[in-house]
Structure 1
């Protein structure tokens, strides 16, 4: 156990705190840890509350941080940082981890992005293929101009006005030719049933 702390201006000697931490790391000294906890606990809690943590959350984070201090004390290196810096860094990291957990959305099993697309039944796939084949044959029965208008309107999803502009046909002509083409397709598809 390190020598009693030297207190000047109400502050504990940083070397004493570092010695306590080294003692915890090397000897698993419970008395040294208790002294570290009683010194840093309230200070870390106040720091976390200044960072926006509620009192309850700050207390929980102090517990997590000090458990980490106990577990990782052997990795403390006096030549790299002081005990205060090392312990407050652990507390800050625990606060960041808590914020990340809060911001992570809850798992929603009904989220459409997580629900796999249903597998189509074999008979519906066969039926769709047969309908596609019938439509293809029916499309071949249309005149070249009608087939082109149907392709533009229904396969390319173009507006009638855009088709009229592109084909240089009057809008009324485009609409009437599409109406005739659809009537012809309906009649052709009924013959296949």
Structure 2
């Protein structure tokens, strides 16, 4: 499976991903796995980070997930779902397994564990209110096209490719507008960190 430019461009195509998975399952095809790895590794890591994993933990889990994909590709059943669904199920299960292992660690003395209060202090509330106001002000100062992309990305939790599809814009335009918006907002929000 030669990885030419056309194939790389079509890697979002479910048929290309399915074909690569079948080649890994049947022949342990390294080029097909490289295609799967380059497509899924950053996405799996991003999902793990979004789910609350620390950077190093997400990196380790992503590596484990991709090794599981390599070793267990024969278990993928196309009739039961897409390659995307299968890989992200492997990732979800790996994270659940890690959390289960971590939760079964015994504590030396549970009475010595200091828990943070669930009730926010007045100072925390004040800082949170100030932060929200500054973010709103910074958003309001953006041009409409940039603000719309930031809102879709962060409020509606859409990926850049989903935003491009929804707004009928080239992906490069979405990325460029997002980068410009970040630059404009950065200076306004430096003090709120």
Q: Which runs of 5+ in 1 are unaligned?
A: 109-193
Equivalent residue of 1:97, what SS? helix
What is the alpha-carbon distance in structure 1 between the residues aligned to residue 79 and residue 22 of structure 2? Answer: 12
Equivalent residue of 1:5, what SS? helix
CA contact (8 A) 2:2 2:31 kept: no
Task: Give 1:97's aligned residue.
Answer: 97
CA contact (8 A) 1:5 1:12 kept: no
Q: Considering only aligned residues, what root-mean-square deviation do their CA atoms show, in Å?
A: 2.3
CA contact (8 A) 1:45 1:58 kept: yes
CA contact (8 A) 1:2 1:20 kept: no
What is the alpha-carbon distance in structure 1 between the residues aligned to residue 2 and residue 84 of structure 2? Answer: 17
Please report how far the alpha carbon of residue 75 of structure 1 lies from its aligned counterpart in structure 2 after TM superposition. 1.3
What is the alpha-carbon distance in structure 1 between the residues aligned to residue 82 and residue 61 of structure 2? Answer: 21
Higher helix share: 2
Per the normalisation by structure 1, the TM-score is: 0.51
* Structure with greater Cα Rg: 1
Please report how far the alpha carbon of residue 13 of structure 1 lies from its aligned counterpart in structure 2 after TM superposition. 0.4
Task: Give 1:88's aligned residue.
Answer: 88
Task: Give 2:7's aligned residue.
Answer: 5
Is 1:67 the counterpart of 2:28 in the alignment? no
Q: Which runs of 5+ in 2 are unaligned?
A: 109-193
What is the alpha-carbon distance in structure 2 between the residues aligned to residue 2 and residue 89 of structure 1? Answer: 28
Alpha carbons of structure 1 residues 85 and 2: separation in structure 2 relative to 1, 3 Å: farther
What's the CA shift string for 1:57-114, capped at 9, x where partnerless?
A: 0000001111111111011111111111100000000000010111112387xxxxxx
What is the alpha-carbon distance in structure 2 between the residues aligned to residue 59 and residue 51 of structure 1? Answer: 13
Between the two proteins, the alignment pairs up a number of residues equal to 107
Runs of 4+ in 1 over 6 A off after TM superposition: none
